[in-house]
Amino acid sequence: MMKSLVVIGLILLGLGALLFYLNDMAIDLRVVYGALSGIGIGLIIGGLVGYVSKGASVKEAKIRQELKQLQKEKAELEKQQLDNSLNNGNV
């Protein structure tokens, strides 16, 4: 999703620049050129910020999941040790 925003932003930015230069840099459509370029730049920046923040949140979620898994494994090992010590003491 974020990569497609960057691609659309680049296309709009390029379209704005192309129209500006093809129209002999006329001033009459400068609002259209500015809007296309502004939207393009906004989508590029938004896409990059979204991509970076999504990557950070995915890494954080993965670390949390691994921590929970390690805690479960630790609890299981402690339970096994307790069971083994009880069984060894009774035998």
pLDDT digits (tens, 9 = 90+) for 20-76: 777 766 566 666 777 777 777 877 787 777 778 787 888 888 999 999 999 999 999
Q: State pTM to two decimals.
A: 0.46
Token digits for 71?
């805690």
Q: Of 47, 44, 19, give the one whose Cα is nearest residue 34.
A: 19
Distance between CA atoms of 60 and 33, rounded to whole angstroms? Answer: 41
> Taking the domains of the chain in order of start, what are their residue ranges?
2-90
Give the number of other Cβ atoms within 10 Å of residue 25's Cβ: 9
